């Protein structure tokens, strides 16, 4: 096993989980659409730091909208929707 301190300057995880039984979850609200858009957008921007966008399972905060978290900062994006993409992009720009 090897433990290293390599990685990304910003690693964004967006919930795309779909819960059974109609329970509130991020997938049906557009989580994957946010992931797909951000991956393409980050690639176009050519940021000076290394950024990674991934989909994730349930982050436990999807009651009101799509949830996401960014590491190593530990900052959360909550109650999001695809309509919030410009705000999310601006937040990412401010990191660099």
pLDDT band at 24 (very low <50, low <70, confident <90, very high): confident
Calpha distance 30→89 (Å, rounded) = 16
Q: What's the DSSP call for residue 53?
A: E
d(CA 43, CA 37): 10
Distance CA 39, CA 6 (A): 20
Q: Kindly report whether the global pTM for this prediction surpasses the value 0.85.
A: yes
pLDDT in tens, 75-85: 999 999 999 99
Exposed / middle / buried, residue 3 (Cβ in 10 Å: 0-12, 13-18, 19+): exposed
pLDDT in the model for residue 42: 95
Q: Where are the domains of the chain?
A: 10-94
* CATH number, span 10-94: 3.40.30.10
């Amino acid at each position: 096993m090897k433990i290293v301190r390599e990685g990304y300057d910003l690693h964004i995880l967006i919930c795309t989980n779909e819960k059974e039984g109609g329970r509130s979850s991020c997938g049906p609200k557009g989580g994957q659409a946010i992931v797909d858009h951000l991956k393409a957008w980050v690639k176009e921007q050519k940021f000076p730091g290394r950024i990674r966008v991934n989909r994730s399972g349930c982050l436990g905060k999807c009651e009101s909208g799509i949830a996401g978290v960014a590491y190593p900062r530990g900052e959360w994006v909550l109650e999001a929707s695809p309509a919030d993409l410009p705000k999310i992009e601006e937040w990412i720009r401010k990191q660099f």
